[in-house]
Each structure stands twice: as C-alpha cells, then as structure tokens.
Structure 1
C-alpha cells in the first residue's frame, strides 16, 4: 500500500525519473537516463516501482502525464547496475539459492510496480514517445494512451528469449485486445506498430512525434476542469476491473516465470531472441 507523499519530497529522488508539476496540478513524469532515452536496467526497474508509489501517494496532483524521453520509451536495455549486460554463459548463469533470491526480489519489485501504477488515484495519460519492447503494461495502464507514429510495442524480454511472459504482459494484453491476439503477440514477439495497436484497441491516438506530448497537455488541461474528487473517483472507477484482473493473475504469472527461470536464465542472450535450443552450446 502506498503512503502519503508530496511533490517536494520526491521530485529529485530518482535518477531515471524527472518530475515537473504545473501550476494547475498536472504532473509530468518522464523516464530518462542522463537526459536521453531510458536505459532499462535493474535499478530503473526497481526505482520505477518506488516512483509510482510516490506519485500514487500525492493527493495534491490532479492528473499524471507519463512518458519517455528522446528516441524511444524504453527500448534500450542494460540489465546490470552499471548498464551492461552480463557475460555468457547463459545456461546456469545464476545457480543455487542466491540466484533464486535475486529472482524473487525482482518479482517482488515487479508486483509493486504494477500495483503502484494502478494505485495512481488521478487520471493518467500515457505518451509512448517511441519504441516500447519491455514492460509495455506500464503505459497501457493509463486511461488515455497516445503514441508517436514511430512507436511500436513488443515483448522481446520474455518468450522470445526463453522466459514465461508472466510479469503482467499476460494480463494487460489479454485485458485490452483479447486472449487470442494476446497469445499471438506474446508467443511470436510480434512488433506491433502504433497504428496496429490503435486498431487493436490498445492505443487511442497516433500522432507525429513532435506533436504527441502537446496533445497530452491539451487533453490534460481539458480534463482537469472537473472537480478533484470527480477526477479521483473516475480513475478509481476505471481501474477497478483491471485491479481485479491483476489480483487474479499477476502473482500466478510471476510464480511461473520465476520458477521457470531456475532452469534457464537468458541474460547472456541480451535483447535478441534465442537462435538455438535453450540447452545447446552456450552463447558466445
């Protein structure tokens, strides 16, 4: 459960998340690494959970705009704290109890991240400013989802690399686009363009890259004309069924993903799909 937070306390707390609060109560949350596109590593993953907890606990804001920076939303990966990928071999890369505890910690942060996004108590406009190929559930939990023309969605971090897509991808995509489309998307690693995502019902508007954030501000300023309690209770209304879906399936999916990773932990494969059977000769 989140706790009471105030803008002044968290605005400079996170190296990968910048915050700007407008005079009329609109909070802009921007993902970044050193002012450029976010490099998705374990620290930015864990900090995003805490950052959303702070946003969810801030009862002074009226609306959240959530977006990335630069060329993409989160299509750059660096899975170690220093931003580099671990060295091969892939198979048995984290054996024994230490590896299991690390996987359990990542699963815990994952659960907190998704629950905290849903605990945001004001309307959320997501701006997918470019490619998004990991943790697409975060922007898709927004009430309004805008995407740039060059954006796409893809889940390359799970099944294509030898992992169970159980960290919320199986929940959000089935919820938004239907079970059959979701299964195909997750099993094939399909690169879903912004326009296709709109046709599938996951995205509301597709705009030129230099216009998408301005459109979010336009919508935000229109929405906040409503009373604060109307804004909050409308968000609660809209998230109720999604919270129920996550309650029923997120823990189940994370458990299966975490358990299966004990057999095969594909860090050495980087961002690329497996090009051989999982137990063939190690990556080189």
Structure 2
C-alpha cells in the first residue's frame, strides 16, 4: 500500500527544477533559495518567456518544502525592463481570444503562485523596476538599491489596462489615491520616496543589497520551520483573497482592451 500523503505526492525537489529555466537562475544553500531573474546573464528583459517561466517557477518553489527562505532579485544594474514608450506596448490592439488565452491563464496563476510560497520572501530591487514592479513589492521584506526606481510603463501609459495584478497590488500597498495616480500617470518613484511612503523597508548601496538580504534570511532561519511557514501564510492571506476575487476580472478587462479593433 502506498503510504505517501497527498502533501508528499505534491512536493518537488530542487534538482527537478534547478536548471529548468532560461530566465531564472536558482541557487540554494542551507535552505535559502536565491532567485535571480535575468536575460542572457544581464538584466531581465520582460517577455512572454519570462512570463511563462515565472508562473511555473513560483509553483515549483512553493511545492519544495526544503525552501526555508526565498530571496528574489534581478541581475546587473536593473531589476527588469525595458521601459515601454508612451502608447507603444507591442501587444496593444493585436490580440485575438485565442492568442490571449495562454497569457490569461498564466496571469491568473503567476501572482497567486508567488503568494502561495509558504516561506518568507525577501525581495531585492537591485535597480530600476519599470515592468511588473508588483512582483518584488509583494515580498515580505523589500530591500532596494539607492539607484532603483519603480514605475509602470507597460500598462496605462503604454496603452494597456493594468489588470494583471497591478490594479490590486499598487492601490493596496500605496493607498487608493496614490496607487491610482501611479498607475494612470506612469509616475516614477525613487528608492528614497518608496522608503518614505512604505513600499520598501531599506535602501542600500547596490554592493550591500545581497549581503543584507542573506543576513536577514539567516535571522529568519532562527525561528522554527512551522512558525516561518504559518507566519508567511497569515501575512499573505488578505492579498491572496483579493487576488481570488479581482484578478480574473481585471485580466478580462485588460484582454478586451487588447483585442484587434
């Protein structure tokens, strides 16, 4: 008789996904998983490939219970890009229901998969984040380089509805008035301003970021595993519940506005 529990059947192990991704470099030591986003070993250039891989990677990371703390960061001097020129998003007004469907499916899983990781997540914004800054801002602890800034160039300024989570995350963490202004104007928020309004926890020179993240990860490891895991669950419950109610609706609105005229 197979005595494995449902949890054990659902688990994955690090070797099964460690080298699976072209745009994500994964390393782990003493239970601390480092997730480095990149394109050809340089700063991440947002793409359909990155979108697809992040959805899958967050699922795999969450299923691996040997991940005790996760550090999420970019590569080089940017967190992610490139910026989109005003009104120039390449996917604007070219989609059909069939071509949008895989994006719709992945987008409904991507942020929930990140939030379902039952280990504390430390985000390290190593430089400008001008595409999908909501991803690092969902970390439990958020560190930023003093060279970083946060901006959403891809959605409303680029001619798209910010319906794939930005409409939930930014008003939630910034406040309704600030969040809506940020999304509608393409506002650029410096690291120092982000610290002042509570989007990030610490601002450091670039060379000190990873060291500080690793130091914080070691501090988190001092707590028992279940304390860490259940605290993460408790602290993300409200965000996950908002995603469940609003994410699919926002994506539907975004998709309708992306369709061919």
Fold match by TM threshold 0.5: yes
Asked if 1:253 corresponds to 2:217, the answer is: no
Alignment root-mean-square deviation, CA: 1.8
Aligned length: 249
Rounded to whole Å, the distance in 1 between the matches of 2:83 and 2:167 is 21
Provide Cα deviations, 1:66-101, integer angstroms capped at 9, x if missing partner: 0000010111379xxxxxx96xxx87534xxxx221
Rounded to whole Å, the distance in 2 between the matches of 1:213 and 1:35 is 17
Partner of 2:62: 56
Measured after TM superposition, the shift of residue 183 of structure 1 is 0.5
Equivalent residue runs for 1:178-257 within 5 Å: 178-257=175-254
Per the alignment, do residues 206 and 92 of structure 1 end up closer, same or farther by CA in structure 2, a change over 3 Å counting? closer
Equivalent residue runs for 1:1-284 within 5 Å: 3-22=10-29, 24-76=30-82, 92-94=93-95, 99-263=96-260
Rounded to whole Å, the distance in 2 between the matches of 1:92 and 1:229 is 47
Rounded to whole Å, the distance in 2 between the matches of 1:91 and 1:66 is 29
Measured after TM superposition, the shift of residue 237 of structure 1 is 0.6
Partner of 1:272: none
Q: SS of the residue aligned with 2:153?
A: coil
Provide Cα deviations, 1:109-138, integer angstroms capped at 9, x if missing partner: 112111100111000000010111111111
Q: SS of the residue aligned with 1:131?
A: coil
* TM-score normalised per structure 2: 0.91
Provide Cα deviations, 1:131-163, integer angstroms capped at 9, x if missing partner: 111111111111000010111111110101111
Rounded to whole Å, the distance in 2 between the matches of 1:36 and 1:168 is 26
Provide Cα deviations, 1:13-59, integer angstroms capped at 9, x if missing partner: 0011111110x210011101121111111111111100111101101
* TM-score normalised per structure 1: 0.84
Rounded to whole Å, the distance in 2 between the matches of 1:14 and 1:91 is 27
Rounded to whole Å, the distance in 1 between the matches of 2:112 and 2:180 is 23
Contact in 1 for aligned 2:44/2:80 (Cα 8 Å): yes
Provide Cα deviations, 1:200-259, integer angstroms capped at 9, x if missing partner: 211111110111111100100111111111110010010001111111211111111111
Provide Cα deviations, 1:143-190, integer angstroms capped at 9, x if missing partner: 000010111111110101111111111111111110000010000000
Q: SS of the residue aligned with 2:22?
A: coil
